[in-house]
Amino acid sequence: MSRDWVHWHQEYDTPGSSLDRRLEVVRRELRKALGTSPAEPDGTRRVISICAGEGRDVLPVIAEHDRRVHALLIELDPVLARRAGETADDLGLSRVEVRTADAGEADAYLDVPPAHVLLACGVFGNISAADVRRTIAALPTLLVPGGIVIWTRARGDNGTEPAQEIRALFAEHGFTELSFTAPDDARFRVGMHRLAGAARHGALSGRLFTF
C-alpha cells in the first residue's frame, strides 16, 4: 500500500469536507439498497464492503436500519480493520465480520456467499484501469441476482470524468444504473448499480486489483 490510509480517514472528521459529504451520499444509497435489494426468505441480507477502511459507511447504517444484516468488511490495514471491529462491537453488531485481508486477491472470497449489497468505495480511483475492468467483471460472481453495488470515483484533476468509463463497464457487465450522484461543487461521484444480468457463481481466481 502506497498511501497512509489511516491519515486519509481523518478528513471524515471535518464537517462539510468532500469526504464527509461523500459519506452522507454513500450512507443514503446504502439505506436505499437495504430497502430494495433482494433478501433471503427470512428477510436477512448479506453486505460485503471491499477495502472497507473504518467501516464508517456500513456500520452506522446497519446499526440504525437493519441490525440483522450479515456484513463482511475486508480491509488490509490492521489499524483500520481493528477500528472497524471496535466500532461494530460498540454498536452491538454481532453479525459483522471484519477480515484483515487483501480484497484484491480472489482467494479472499472463496468461502464468501454472494452478497445482496456490495460496496466498493474508495477503490476504483486507486487501481489501474485494467484492474477496474477486472474487478467490475468479477462482481457478478460476488452478488446474488438483483444484487446492488455502491461505488465511488473522484473526478480527475484535469476535469476528466473517469466515472463515465466505470458506468459504461457496469452496463457492459449486466448491471442497470439505479443512481449516479455527481455534485457540481465537489469531485466525488457515487454510483449505484443493480445486477440485472445473470449472477455467475463459480470460483474467482488470480488477482482482481492491486492498490
Ligand X SMILES: C[S@@+](CC[C@H](N)C(=O)[O-])C[C@H]1O[C@@H](n2cnc3c(N)ncnc32)[C@H](O)[C@@H]1O
Q: Does 1 bind ligand X (CB under 6 A)?
A: yes
Phi, psi of 144 (to 5 degrees): -75, 160
In the set 61, 74, 148, 204, which binds ligand X (CB under 6 A)? 74
Q: Quote the distance between the C-alpha of residue 61 and its chain's center.
A: 13
Cell readout for 36 is: 430494495
Contact 195/139 with Cβ under 8 angstroms?
A: yes
CA distances from 132 to 35, 42, 47, 126 (A): 27, 34, 20, 9
By CB under 6 A, name the one of 29, 59, 75, 124 that touches ligand X.
Answer: 75
Q: Residue 39 or residue 52: which is nearer to ligand X going by CB?
A: 52
- Cβ distance 19 to 11 under 8 Å? yes
Q: Of 79 and 196, which CB lies nearer to ligand X in the complex structure?
A: 79
Single out the segment in contact with ligand X by CB under 6 A; choices: 72-80, 131-139, 180-188, 198-206. Answer: 72-80
Nearer to ligand X among residue 156 and residue 197 (C-beta) = 156
Residue closer to ligand X (CB basis): 29 or 77:
77
Dist CA 125 CA 162 (whole Å):
8
Q: Is 76 in the site for ligand X (CB under 6 A)?
A: yes
Segment interacting with ligand X (CB under 6 A) among 38-46, 101-109, 174-182, 190-198? 101-109
CA dihedral 11, 119, 63, 38 (to 10 degrees): 160
Contact letters for ligand X, residues 37-66 (x by CB under 6 A): --------------xxx--x----------
